[in-house]
Amino acid sequence: MIQRIQPGPRMSQVVTYPANGRIVVISGQVPDDRSLDVPGQTRDVLAKVDRLLAAGGTDKSRITHAYIWLRDIADFDLMNSEWDKWVSPGNAPARACVEARMAAPDIRVEIQVFALVGD
């Protein structure tokens, strides 16, 4: 059974479904405070990811893969400085990071993750 947490008209914030346990899919998250620099926006987004993972019944140690979009790929090291502090030691997910045109000019970081619940 598919479960949608915090559904909206365009996307759900979290989607879980059975697959030898459950998979939690968190939609792309952008910062609430868009006035922040790249490290600040990254911290903001990762805090949201933590909350949404908890709402889906899991945590960052169970992330299987992540997609990261940056407005400017030159910010890669700045984003990674926060990601590396946040990621669960020994549980780094598969990950892709690309430069993209964002939905709004003040968004510099967007992150989507997939995680497991159960075994």
Q: Note the pLDDT of residue 56.
A: 93
Paired with 11 in beta bridges are none
Q: Note the pLDDT of residue 3.
A: 74
| DSSP H helical ranges for 4-55 | 38-55
Tens digits of residue pLDDT in 52-67:
999 999 999 888 889 9
Cβ–Cβ under 8 Å, residues 88 and 60: yes
Q: Note the pLDDT of residue 20.
A: 64
Structure token digits, residue 104:
């709004």
> Is the CA virtual torsion 91, 72, 54, 8 positive or negative?
negative
pTM above 0.85, yes or no: yes
